[in-house]
Each structure stands twice: as C-alpha cells, then as structure tokens.
Amino acid sequence: MGGYTLIENASLANRNTLRVDARATLLAEIRDATKLPELLDFPAVRNGRLLVLGEGSNVLFTEDFEGTVLAMATRGVQVESDGDSARIAVAAGERWDDFVRWTLGQGFAGLENLILIPGTVGAAPIQNIGAYGCEVAEFVESVEAWDTRARCVVKLDQATCAFAYRDSLFKREPGRYIITAVRFRLPRSRALRTDYAGIEEQLARMGVDHPAPFHVAEAVVHLRTSKLPDPAVIGNAGSFFKNPIVNAALAAQLKQDHPELPAWPQPDGSVKLSAAWLIETAGFKGVREGDAGISNRHALVLVNHGKASGPQLWALAQRVIVGVHAVFGVQLEPEPLVIGAR
C-alpha cells in the first residue's frame, strides 16, 4: 500500500507540542493526498471518528482519541504563475515556517510577519493564523479540501472560507473538511507592516532604516523568541486563550477601572482586550499546579513542565477562565482544539 502508513494503538506524545501522553486507536499518516478516498473507505476509518492532525501545535488532548488520527505528511510547492505576483499552491503537510522562509528567499513579500509560527500549511487556514499585525487570510486565494460530507474534492475561495480573528468556516464546521492544499497569492513587493508594538524599535536596534521583508522577518523572529517559550524546551501550544472581543460598554467600564489595560477597538465598534494582561493581573502568571503551569514569560501560554496529563492542564486552564471571569467579568475561550473537553 503506497501513499500512507497505518499504526494501531499509536502514541501521540511526540505529535502534540504540549507533550501530552495520549494515544489514538488508529494513526494514519498520509503522504499522497490522492489516496485519501481509499483510506477513508477502510471500514475501521469510515465507521469511526476522525481527527486531522498537523504538528499538534494547537491541540490539547484531555483523553485518548478513540478513532482515526489522520496525520498530514504530504509535500510539494508549485508556483503557478509569475510576474508582479505569484500564485503558489502548497501541500497541506509542508511546514509553515519552512514555506515562509522559502517565499522570502524567492523574493516574495507578505508572509514576513508570520515567520516562526509552528505547524503545517494545511492548518494555517483553520484558525486564520496571525501575528504582528497580519493574518494569513489576506494571502489565501483558495483552499483545496476533501469534503467528508459530500465525499468529493472542493475548492473554497477566500470569501467562502469566512476568515475572522482566530476563526474560519473550518472552525465553525469542525471535522467536515480535510485540507489538502492551500493556494496563496503573494506580491513581489508591498507596503510593510511595522506598526505592531516592538517591530520599529527592533528594526532601529538592528540599524535598519529602509527595511525589506527579510528585515521585518528578522525583527519578528527576535521578538517572538524573546517573548514566547520554545516548545522544544517546554511543552506549550502558544497562546492558550484567544484575546476576548467584548462590547464597547464593558470595554469602557474596564478601561475606566484599569486605564493600563491594552485594548484594540475593532471596525464594528467592539473592542479586543489583551487576555495576557487580564490573566497576569488576575494573578495567574507563573502559577504551577504539579507539572501544569502558566508560563512566567507570557501569561497566555499554558505550559507542561514535564509529565502533566491532559486533564491536569485542562483543569488549570479552567481555573484561569473562572478566575479571570470573577475579577473582570470577561469570559476567556481556549484557542486550541481541546479533545474531550466537557
């Protein structure tokens, strides 16, 4: 059988960056997307639950996965047209950061602010990855996926993907689409985004007056490595909570009580608040319960100091949600997919 590998009762410990020791009834690693229909037709796969997994950098397992974990290991990058901009089709299993660096090396602009985000290209549209003032949605022309409901290949254009802050069609219809490739449209040059806090200062420290995309990428790498704990050193899934978006009245009241609360007004009048600030101010930064903790470097990051189980990590996350709500009346929501959440 070419194109995929099947393992029964497989460990997922090295397949999630929170390093939770979970297992899957069946692990199917797929290297050839054209074999998906054949794989999905196996009775053991067809009749059970399915979870698509990239690098597991945005997943918390609170229990074993009873069903098939489909690990995307497809590869390939195709530049479809060129000129002032290019259309680039990328297989879902490619590493996001490798792709970003490749685009910079080829002289394309756009993805520089999104450098060093862990994970696969196929996962990037799921929560519309974003950092340092940019979101991937802006560069996604279309997404190719296997629609498990209609049982056919579909091509979803950018509007259909309904991208929003840490959100998309794929999060609203979980499990329906298996993304096999993402088609990007990237320009050769564009106005750089350097307004996110810290970028201009870092470019100045680097002595760069007229930045090119790779300078911005270098500045972002510096900021990210100085702020976020490295999953290779300590288990984590990046921000564990989304920045909450609240109505203007609640934001105004909170700003009155806490003028230093970082807040970003949204086009529709709502206001995005800094979850890290809320968590730190509620007293959770650096807390530890057994091996489950909140990073002392960044209050948004749930960390596994060693052998924390999924339920232990989830219990601490819930304590943070309850604690922040008690102090500020703001409801935090997890960013990662939580398997087995009740």
Site residues (vs ligand EPU, CB under 6 A): 131-132, 227, 238-239, 242-243, 262, 274, 276-277, 280, 285, 298-300, 335
In order, the DSSP letters of 260-304 are T--EEE-TTS-EEE-HHHHHHHTT-TT-EETTEEE-SS-TTEEEE
Beta carbon nearer to ligand EPU, 183 or 242: 242
The reply to whether 166 belongs to the active site is: yes
Q: Residues 258-276, buried b or exposed e (16+ Cβ, 10 A)?
A: eeebebeeeeeeebbbbbb
Instruction: Give Cα 30 distance to the centre of its chain.
Output: 21
- Residue with smaller CB distance to ligand FAD, 95 or 258: 95
Phi, psi values for residue 24, rounded to 5°:
-120, 140
Of 110 and 118, which CB lies nearer to ligand FAD in the complex structure?
A: 118
Identify whether 335 is a catalytic site residue. yes
57 is an interface residue for ligand FAD by CB under 6 A: yes
Residue 27 touches which member of ligand EPU, ligand FAD, none, C-beta under 5-8 Å by kind: none
Please state at what angle helix 213-227 crosses helix 96-105, rounded to 10 degrees.
150
Task: Give 212 or 263: the residue with its C-beta nearer to ligand EPU.
Answer: 263
CA 216 – CA 102 distance, rounded (Å): 15
Region binding ligand FAD by CB under 6 A among candidate stretches 50-58, 79-87, 102-110, 183-191: 50-58
> According to CB under 6 A, which residues from 107 to 126 bind ligand FAD?
117-120, 122-124, 126
The catalytic position among 57, 142, 239, 309 is 239
Tokens 């059970």 sit on residue: 48
Site residues for ligand FAD, 210-249, by CB under 6 A, read 228, 231, 236-238
d(CA 146, CA 125): 14
For 37-53, give the DSSP string.
Answer: HHHHTSHHHHTSEEEEE
Note the residues at the interface with ligand FAD (CB under 6 A).
17, 51-59, 72, 92, 117-120, 122-124, 126-127, 129-131, 177-179, 228, 231, 236-238, 337
